[in-house]
Amino acid sequence: MALVVQKYGGSSVASADRIRRVAERIVETKKQGHDVVVVCSAMGDTTDELLDLAEQVSPAPPAREMDMLLTSGERISNALVAMAIHSLGAEARSFTGSQAGVITTSVHGKAKIIDVTPGRLREALDEGTIVLVAGFQGVSQDSKDVTTLGRGGSDTTAVALAAALEADVCEIYTDVDGIFTADPRIVSDAQKLEQVSYEEMLEMAACGSKVLMLRCVEYARRYNVPVHVRSSYTDKHGTYVYGSMEDIPLEQAILTGVAHDRSEAKVTVVGLPDEPGYAAKVFRYVAEAEINIDMVLQNISKVETGKTDITFTLPKSDGVRAVEMLSKYQGEIGFSQVLYDDHIGKVSLVGAGMKSHPGVTATFCEALAEAGINIDLISTSEIRISVLVKDTELDDAVQVLHRAFDLGGDEVAVVHAGTGR
């Protein structure tokens, strides 16, 4: 007998009919003799509808109240799923994040899980009950207020519960069949991966893969939670995210896939004095605007001027703010100008195999060059190569790299209706 945690996303519980189907799957799992814990997101577009209502009522709603409002969505869906399970003859009980013992920081809207104390859940499970927990939420350790966890929060809730309850697996149900070697909507012969190590999944998530959010994978890795990403439309196995790439024998290490990201923009601070402290000033000001930076590049300075340029990428939604902040302090920092480009795309090759295969970087750049795709910036890690290209060339770049590294297969990838979350 195992303890299984299952997470169902918004489209999986979008209607009474979908809810009943999810309930059937849950009861089926229970009948196999397992303890079952389920985390559901809010139904379909509920969260967006609540956000819309909030906007109608107030231009800048306080974050605390936004969390009180939004958490209603998950409360509703989990209670309904519990009811559906009950109508199939099994016992089920739903809990809020607070009741489930999900303790978080106080940052409304993007709280982090500090601890999980699932005593009430354990009791219910021991009574043979199927347990449902509202995803995306917890309770603040300090203020005892309700908090939400930010995008992908329900996945994080599921993994955190799996860790606290020492579950045998955390199944993330979504509307794609698993994690692919590339986005199947761009690369028709993208392959479903059988297994991916935590580190590789972290890179994929950081490089734009939207199937699992970064925080969720970090949590899974820290507590060694086996995650199974699979489709809620079929019974097929999906992709297991498990294990450290350190455990993969060098000869077996492969290249995992190609990720892409359209959400970033590029800022270049031109003509910064190449002396200690100047780069630090740039990043301090950007950080004070609470902007997260992704790639950073500083090349060697120009001998004749003693000045250098620093380029970094950031979410497009923060682009204007970053430029305003830097322009405001231009005198203080001492650069000559700020350049901004939001027509970029990032494409990345990820894989533990990179470490043991020399020439990957060469093959990477050659493939893009042959396709006439210009590389703007290159940034690498031990198991990843990322480049910036023109956003109009992003899809081509993904296909070219996927082909160059022979990641495709014979089967054409199946894409289910839905937006891939």
What is the Cα–Cα distance from 347 to 3, expressed in whole angstroms? 38
- Is 82 an interacting residue with respect to a second copy (CB under 8 A)? yes
- Is 62 an interacting residue with respect to a second copy (CB under 8 A)? yes
- Is 69 an interacting residue with respect to a second copy (CB under 8 A)? yes
Q: Least distance to a second copy from the beta carbon of 121, Å? A: 13
Q: Least distance to a second copy from the beta carbon of 39, Å? A: 15
- Is 92 an interacting residue with respect to a second copy (CB under 8 A)? yes
What is the Cα–Cα distance from 282 to 287, expressed in whole angstroms? 9
Strand ranges inside 9-90, DSSP E: 35-40
Among positions 54, 293, 323, 375, the unique one binding a second copy when judged by CB under 8 A: 54
- β-strand 130-134 against 35-40: which pairing, if any? parallel
Among positions 29, 94, 148, 154, the unique one binding a second copy when judged by CB under 8 A: 94
8 is in an annotated binding site: yes
Q: Least distance to a second copy from the beta carbon of 14, Å? A: 12
- Is 117 an interacting residue with respect to a second copy (CB under 8 A)? no
Per rule CB under 8 A, count of chain residues that contact a second copy = 38
- Is 68 an interacting residue with respect to a second copy (CB under 8 A)? yes
284 is in an annotated binding site: no
- Is 21 an interacting residue with respect to a second copy (CB under 8 A)? no
Give the helix/strand (H/E) hosting 312: strand 307-315
DSSP, residue by residue, 224-245 = T--EEEEESS-----EEE-S-G
Query: For residues 13 and 170, which CB has a smaller minimum distance to a second copy in the complex?
Result: 13
User: What residues numbered 121-160 form the site for a second copy, per CB under 8 A?
Assistant: 144
Helix ranges (DSSP H) in 294-415: 316-328, 330-333, 360-370, 394-404
Q: Least distance to a second copy from the beta carbon of 145, Å? A: 9
Q: Are 220 and 197 in contact (CB under 8 A)?
A: no
Q: Least distance to a second copy from the beta carbon of 98, Å? A: 9
Query: For residues 50 and 296, which CB has a smaller minimum distance to a second copy in the complex?
Result: 50
Residue 415's nearest CA partner among 174, 96, 157, 89 is 174
Q: Least distance to a second copy from the beta carbon of 335, Å? A: 39
304 is in an annotated binding site: no
- Is 79 an interacting residue with respect to a second copy (CB under 8 A)? yes
What is the Cα–Cα distance from 408 to 399, expressed in whole angstroms? 10
Burial of 4 by CB count in 10 Å (0-12 exposed, 13-18 middle, 19+ buried)? buried
Query: For residues 144 and 262, which CB has a smaller minimum distance to a second copy in the complex?
Result: 144
Q: Least distance to a second copy from the beta carbon of 53, Å? A: 6
What is the Cα–Cα distance from 263 to 330, expressed in whole angstroms? 26
- Is 260 an interacting residue with respect to a second copy (CB under 8 A)? no
What is the Cα–Cα distance from 236 to 233, expressed in whole angstroms? 9
175 is in an annotated binding site: yes
User: Could you give the angle at the alpha carbon of 261 between the alpha carbons of 327 and 388, nearest 5°?
Assistant: 65
Q: Least distance to a second copy from the beta carbon of 222, Å? A: 30
What is the Cα–Cα distance from 172 to 180, expressed in whole angstroms? 15
What is the Cα–Cα distance from 77 to 137, expressed in whole angstroms? 13
Q: Are 385 and 360 in contact (CB under 8 A)?
A: yes
Among positions 3, 51, 66, 107, the unique one binding a second copy when judged by CB under 8 A: 66
- Considering only 84-92, 199-207, 279-287, 382-390, which stretch makes contact with a second copy by CB under 8 A? 84-92
| Six-digit token string for 142 | 């300090």
Q: Strand 137-140's sheet: what is its strand order?
A: 113-116, 102-104, 137-140, 146-148
- Is 90 an interacting residue with respect to a second copy (CB under 8 A)? no
174 is in an annotated binding site: yes
- Considering only 16-24, 195-203, 291-299, 339-347, which stretch makes contact with a second copy by CB under 8 A? 16-24
Q: Strand 227-231's sheet: what is its strand order?
A: 92-95, 130-134, 35-40, 3-8, 169-174, 227-231, 239-241, 195-196
- Is 399 an interacting residue with respect to a second copy (CB under 8 A)? no
- Is 279 an interacting residue with respect to a second copy (CB under 8 A)? no
- Beta partners for residue 350, in sequence order: 257, 384
Residue 6's nearest CA partner among 78, 111, 75, 84 is 78
319 is in an annotated binding site: no
Among positions 16, 287, 369, 414, the unique one binding a second copy when judged by CB under 8 A: 16
Q: Least distance to a second copy from the beta carbon of 16, Å? A: 4
Contact residues toward a second copy (CB under 8 A) are: 16, 19-20, 50, 53-54, 56-62, 64-66, 68-69, 71-73, 75-76, 78-84, 86-87, 92-94, 99, 120, 144
Binding residue ranges for substrate:
47, 74
